[in-house]
Structure 1
């Protein structure tokens, strides 16, 4: 590839074996002079599939929340396309050590962040040249292209830019066209970052994509991104930390690819950097998840993002154009395919080795606990094609997650075993290991995610292989229990999100429900605080009460116990003041600045896709005009609230709470309501150490700074499960702490808190940060007049995957009263 060739890719192609139209010819404008809307991108790929069906296969693998299609495009030689399924099957045999594949499989993923929009544009030029001037790469290579992982975000950005740009465009970075609003184009419909969802699969785009990805498990995967406008291009090799499971070949091949990219960038005088910032550790990225499944997984980062527009002036006075950005991504994309094609035999050989050569310390993970949480974990494992099983009764010895030391646990019929002795064994090790080994504490994302902690399950990591019978069920198919027509009441446990969804649908259907704030026993069965009680008397107004109750219980696999009496064996009778009606709350949430789009999106998604309960969104632009008395609950998502809430707004909030409102303040929003003029919560102050004022070398600045940081570490906390916020939990909870900001204990209502021992059980926390979070609040409730303020210092809904935190949020909605 020469400088002349790169320049020519913006010109109309006049030589094509199939006389295909270039993107510029098809779209009617020169590529890089407009942002192409998603439906136009789809049109171009459909055109190629129609005009070159022997070399292009197009499939739709799903649909977004806003009904845009998700495309995959297979491009290769005519012979390979005609044998595509046999190539796939032979390739997958390599994971079992029985294959003899010779083709290189390269998967290119574009535009996972909607406002990092250049890569979709580059994808069109890339496939065109693969079908024309670069077709020789395809003789031994199958290229799978996802032109746009995030169509909803991309169209949000491109429509916004087309609306606000100057004519033709303005390069001044202060111009409106370079400054998106609060809801920018980065995220998907629910404001989730899809590049952090590969392992957790909370979003429909991820769920649909992973089905097809696991049908191929490519040798090479590239995730195309953009970064700040002033940054040069980034490509592999990645930065430390690398996870310890990453093989020497995976490391070395990144270098091979990087040197080939550098050859082209050097020839054109383009700036780039490698081995910095973007590491290979957190498992839910578009580079790490493929890596842990045997691929050479990589992130490529072009300067630009939402601020780039069609052209912008950088800080050194150069103009960065969309054409420039396209050329760079186009170059690394073709270079990746070139190197893969030239090394197809090596890629196949090493891919087989990846799946054959395993020697992990822990051979089996044995899990016990809440069956509902176990079902939630099984559902995730099935999506990843991770096998699990039911072991024979006995005991397991190994590392005990609850105690942080070696121990043993009984194995019952309800236990679950996940072994590393399977095709997805490396991924199992990464997702389940108690504490991932960090080669460098300077990392790009959270450093702890172990699934037993995330799902609230007791676990033993055993160095022995524990045999188990295969179990591929996702949900325990429990019946809805004994719903007798002549019963006085029907009772249900309160222990998981399954129960929360059940309650939410009952309330939405107009069925009245009570809960107990005191344990009781009845008919030989014990019921803990929070248990649901549905009486006939409360629902005599509802003609279809029994059929509706039966239907909803069956839908959620909730087992109800019928009783002919409200007279309990021990505890409080059903007419006691300790057995209260659960009100159907009308819930509002604040959106817009100062809230974080990600934190807002987690709550929005929780209500609509997990709890299935109505939520009113009130924007900060007009919330001062809203009568809060119309709502029983107001949620303040995390964000940057410093000086964001005025005295008048705070006064209004306090009056609303005092009159009976329930305020849920999460993360950074607590900063907006604490202090002398706010509520009583106080930020934790740590005495300063005078020795820290000593001069330190500038080169150590970053290392010194991380002493105060917590990069997503797991801490063991105490739970007061007699408090309504702690209903359904044991006495311990493992929280994912994302920072060192901490608050003193409340005078009363400390439902979840850290004690003095603050060493994380998993992940990195700086030495100074550990001191700061000692004896601090995690979740608590302050009574204020007739209402309450619920503080959630840590985020129980983080990225939608911290399953064990979700019941705390449901408790805040329904149990705290």
Structure 2
């Protein structure tokens, strides 16, 4: 059957009526590209060219700025457009908006339009939205109807045409290579089978729609800088879902985070009603109030919401599988032009709703920030964090607060108070010391602060789309307290002030330099030295030197072993320490007051390891990406990425460490593969097996890790009616088997190298049930005991299974090591307290 793809113009006439175009001189997307929208996927470079063309044709109404670049060097753009009057005053509008909410000093003057920010194509293979954005921009910049002209008098529109250009081009380049001349609508066709790793994610395979709050990725960091310069009142985020679904728009599903205001809920409903008007007119299917909730704070709808905006997700049925056209199970054919029309309609409906309610939107937005500054909501009004000899962690935290525009300061004198202790989960007395970090909720960004720091996420409903706990003190591994009162005598720190490098205690030509080891900064310092071919040692046992106590894991950089560096040794070590804010202590001797001397066999050398990392079919692309990013962007240490396709041809003897990310390994490590793996480990190799990889090794011959089996058979014998479940309760019953990002207190054996730099406990974000009993042969380094729960949702059926289970462990095998990480310590790169443990697995264990 020859598929007839209706041109996009057909859908736009249906949507907007037959109003004549007011501007005949500016080229439409079809005229500029040479094909109708919907006939093919447009490369990002062509989208960039069209936006620049539009801005050049209408400089009095539109501007395009490059606000950053992706990891692969593609430009990130923001288009600003409005009426000619608003556009000429856009800088005044921007600064007045920040003055109204207290983020800039001074008094705002003049009329203010609603600032509407529309974000497209955050998931690269949800590629329809960047096709739609060209038609949206054309109609806005040309003022193609009287209605649009009116809307732009009341709004200033900011459009990010493609949040994720690297992922988009990965998808579009693949699709344009494999697509038939005419769309093949069969779901079996090659053009509907996207290969690993898919185009959803960015270069490092991170989901950018889960990075808004954490801001780990370059694209997000650059976008948030510009977002904070504008602080829009309305934000819409355009997505796609599976091709069987229709269209989703607000209002959102439960659970709503408790910090979301009644007005934000109400205006979501108003925008949803405005979308419904157009979708009903055209008999397009849609749904609301299902699936897409507003709890997890790092989405494109929630993070702007906690910054005061009315924000929403739009989801069009389609996605990477849909291509240009696909037959659905109901027999209908979904086309790219239809998908474009739907996103186009939602875009204009959002702008229209903001325009129609201009005054109320602005009044409520100003009220939101007024309350934040003078009467913030929430149990705790102040957070106090103690560095306790961990300056590296404090530097990471303050840099994060600066990114978020969250103000903080430092206590100026000793005092006593009473507050919630994050470590114990109890309210207790605390001593506040000078220079303790103090964060007050009496500030513009107090709602965001409350959401990010709240130790107990309140769930309106357990049916949620993502993790349910994320409290920042746990993520950074810092002692913290929540106080119900406001502290006085706090020295406020100006935002974005660079912290000075730690000072270095100097001794002429010292015997050794000592560096405490308990943060990512310290790990970065270690890898920087290794990259410079500096020999580094570490102590396996605690020691005292010159009246100072040093914990196991302390780095010892002796002059002995580095003689080849000659005069550059001291300069090199100090320079690297300053780069990462690491405090060095110079020791004139290798003799210590107590503990082990620097020549002891308990002082080990850190090997400059050659590391292999597995990627490809069967491997979780995001799990691989988190590790790849860790090496390349955080510790800057070389890693060799190995393809699963060629893995059986890898010369194993050239590797010291093999990292197996989460994934399915049944095809890769059959009996023969496991025999090869064990032989390599026995010869001195080290395997780091995460999540699914650990699960694959569990129970296999010679591996100490095993799995418990749980059964409900006895319960069914006692109560046979338990089998009589309601079909309508299926989704909710399934939750009883899940852990949805719960925070748990892991008990650590911090005498083991895997836990060097940690205290006796570590708060981990648990994603899956670990059915691993304690190992009989090996080291149970991190375990969950009874009463380990701290925060987040855990299903009723799995609570017992999480008790007395292994989370982190190691096993010796011949001269080598197997390291089991049943929980991912690098999750989304925001769980900072886990990164040191992954570094320990690489550089400390088995030396």
TM-score of the superposition, structure 1-length normalised?
0.97
CA-based RMSD: 1.8
Deviation at 1:336, TM superposition (A): 0.5
Report whether the alignment pairs 1:382 with 2:431. no
Report whether the alignment pairs 1:751 with 2:781. yes
What are the residue-to-residue correspondences of 1:477-496 with 2, within 5 Å?
A: 477-496=500-519
Mapped to 2, the partners of 1:67 and 1:119 lie a distance apart of: 21
Report whether the alignment pairs 1:550 with 2:574. yes
Deviation at 1:8, TM superposition (A): 6.6
Report whether the alignment pairs 1:294 with 2:305. no
Deviation at 1:496, TM superposition (A): 0.9
Deviation at 1:644, TM superposition (A): 4.7
Give the corresponding residue for 1:770: 799
Mapped to 2, the partners of 1:753 and 1:402 lie a distance apart of: 16
CA contact (8 A) 1:590 1:618 kept: yes
Mapped to 2, the partners of 1:113 and 1:407 lie a distance apart of: 45
Deviation at 1:678, TM superposition (A): 5.7
* Alignment counterpart, residue 104 of structure 1, candidates 114, 130, 137: 114
Mapped to 1, the partners of 2:417 and 2:841 lie a distance apart of: 37
Report whether the alignment pairs 1:507 with 2:524. no
Deviation at 1:11, TM superposition (A): 13
Mapped to 2, the partners of 1:171 and 1:523 lie a distance apart of: 76
Mapped to 1, the partners of 2:100 and 2:576 lie a distance apart of: 46
Deviation at 1:484, TM superposition (A): 3.4
- Taking a change above 3 Å as real, the CA distance of residues 7 and 312 of structure 1, as seen in their structure-2 partners, is farther
CA contact (8 A) 2:397 2:476 kept: yes
Deviation at 1:99, TM superposition (A): 4.2
Mapped to 1, the partners of 2:615 and 2:265 lie a distance apart of: 43
Mapped to 1, the partners of 2:151 and 2:16 lie a distance apart of: 21
Give the corresponding residue for 2:5: none
Report whether the alignment pairs 1:55 with 2:61. yes
Deviation at 1:643, TM superposition (A): 5.2
* Alignment counterpart, residue 760 of structure 2, candidates 702, 714, 731: 731
- Taking a change above 3 Å as real, the CA distance of residues 755 and 277 of structure 1, as seen in their structure-2 partners, is same
Deviation at 1:642, TM superposition (A): 4.7
Report whether the alignment pairs 1:314 with 2:338. no
CA contact (8 A) 1:742 1:793 kept: no
C-alpha distance after superposition, 1:237-272 (max 9, x if no partner): 000000011111111111111111111111111110
CA contact (8 A) 2:541 2:602 kept: yes
Mapped to 1, the partners of 2:193 and 2:604 lie a distance apart of: 50
- Taking a change above 3 Å as real, the CA distance of residues 119 and 3 of structure 1, as seen in their structure-2 partners, is closer
Mapped to 1, the partners of 2:276 and 2:21 lie a distance apart of: 28
* Alignment counterpart, residue 136 of structure 2, candidates 118, 126, 135: 126
Unaligned runs of 5+ in 1: none
C-alpha distance after superposition, 1:747-768 (max 9, x if no partner): 231111101224x211100111
Report whether the alignment pairs 1:160 with 2:174. yes
Report whether the alignment pairs 1:206 with 2:213. no
- Taking a change above 3 Å as real, the CA distance of residues 13 and 484 of structure 1, as seen in their structure-2 partners, is farther
Give the corresponding residue for 1:712: 741
What are the residue-to-residue correspondences of 1:375-414 with 2, within 5 Å?
A: 375-392=395-412, 393-414=414-435
Deviation at 1:524, TM superposition (A): 1.3
- Taking a change above 3 Å as real, the CA distance of residues 687 and 311 of structure 1, as seen in their structure-2 partners, is closer
CA contact (8 A) 2:77 2:162 kept: yes
CA contact (8 A) 2:11 2:341 kept: no
Give the corresponding residue for 1:67: 73
Deviation at 1:4, TM superposition (A): 6.5
The 3-state SS of whatever aligns with 1:711 is: strand
CA contact (8 A) 2:659 2:687 kept: yes
Mapped to 1, the partners of 2:746 and 2:174 lie a distance apart of: 45
What are the residue-to-residue correspondences of 1:170-249 with 2, within 5 Å?
A: 170-249=184-263
The count of residues paired between Structure 1 and Structure 2 equals 815
- Taking a change above 3 Å as real, the CA distance of residues 619 and 3 of structure 1, as seen in their structure-2 partners, is closer
Give the corresponding residue for 1:517: 540
Give the corresponding residue for 2:3: none
Report whether the alignment pairs 1:444 with 2:465. yes
What are the residue-to-residue correspondences of 1:274-293 with 2, within 5 Å?
A: 274-293=288-307
Mapped to 1, the partners of 2:219 and 2:18 lie a distance apart of: 34
Deviates more, 1:257-266 or 1:559-568: 559-568
Mapped to 1, the partners of 2:599 and 2:770 lie a distance apart of: 44
Mapped to 1, the partners of 2:150 and 2:238 lie a distance apart of: 23
TM-score of the superposition, structure 2-length normalised?
0.94
Deviation at 1:396, TM superposition (A): 2.8
The 3-state SS of whatever aligns with 2:739 is: coil
Deviation at 1:480, TM superposition (A): 4.6
Deviates more, 1:670-679 or 1:768-777: 670-679
Mapped to 2, the partners of 1:4 and 1:118 lie a distance apart of: 17
Mapped to 2, the partners of 1:506 and 1:5 lie a distance apart of: 61
What are the residue-to-residue correspondences of 1:456-467 with 2, within 5 Å?
A: 456-467=477-488
Report whether the alignment pairs 1:366 with 2:389. no
Give the corresponding residue for 1:424: 445
Give the corresponding residue for 1:46: 52
Give the corresponding residue for 2:337: 323
Deviates more, 1:365-374 or 1:436-445: 365-374
The 3-state SS of whatever aligns with 2:596 is: coil
Mapped to 1, the partners of 2:18 and 2:133 lie a distance apart of: 16
Mapped to 2, the partners of 1:684 and 1:294 lie a distance apart of: 47
Mapped to 2, the partners of 1:655 and 1:337 lie a distance apart of: 64
Mapped to 2, the partners of 1:751 and 1:114 lie a distance apart of: 39
Mapped to 2, the partners of 1:160 and 1:647 lie a distance apart of: 35
Report whether the alignment pairs 1:667 with 2:679. no
CA contact (8 A) 2:102 2:444 kept: yes
Deviation at 1:628, TM superposition (A): 1.3
Mapped to 2, the partners of 1:60 and 1:629 lie a distance apart of: 47
What are the residue-to-residue correspondences of 1:5-84 with 2, within 5 Å?
A: 6-7=12-13, 15-17=21-23, 19-84=25-90
The 3-state SS of whatever aligns with 1:763 is: strand
The 3-state SS of whatever aligns with 1:768 is: coil
CA contact (8 A) 2:770 2:806 kept: no
Deviates more, 1:710-719 or 1:409-418: 409-418
Mapped to 2, the partners of 1:697 and 1:5 lie a distance apart of: 42
Mapped to 2, the partners of 1:809 and 1:566 lie a distance apart of: 29
Deviation at 1:71, TM superposition (A): 0.3
Mapped to 1, the partners of 2:645 and 2:400 lie a distance apart of: 39
Mapped to 2, the partners of 1:575 and 1:451 lie a distance apart of: 40
CA contact (8 A) 1:10 1:31 kept: no
What are the residue-to-residue correspondences of 1:651-666 with 2, within 5 Å?
A: 651-666=675-690
The 3-state SS of whatever aligns with 1:742 is: coil
Deviation at 1:553, TM superposition (A): 1.7
Give the corresponding residue for 1:684: 708
Mapped to 2, the partners of 1:385 and 1:569 lie a distance apart of: 46
Unaligned runs of 5+ in 2: 1-7, 717-721
Mapped to 2, the partners of 1:290 and 1:569 lie a distance apart of: 55
Mapped to 2, the partners of 1:732 and 1:419 lie a distance apart of: 27
Mapped to 1, the partners of 2:266 and 2:509 lie a distance apart of: 72
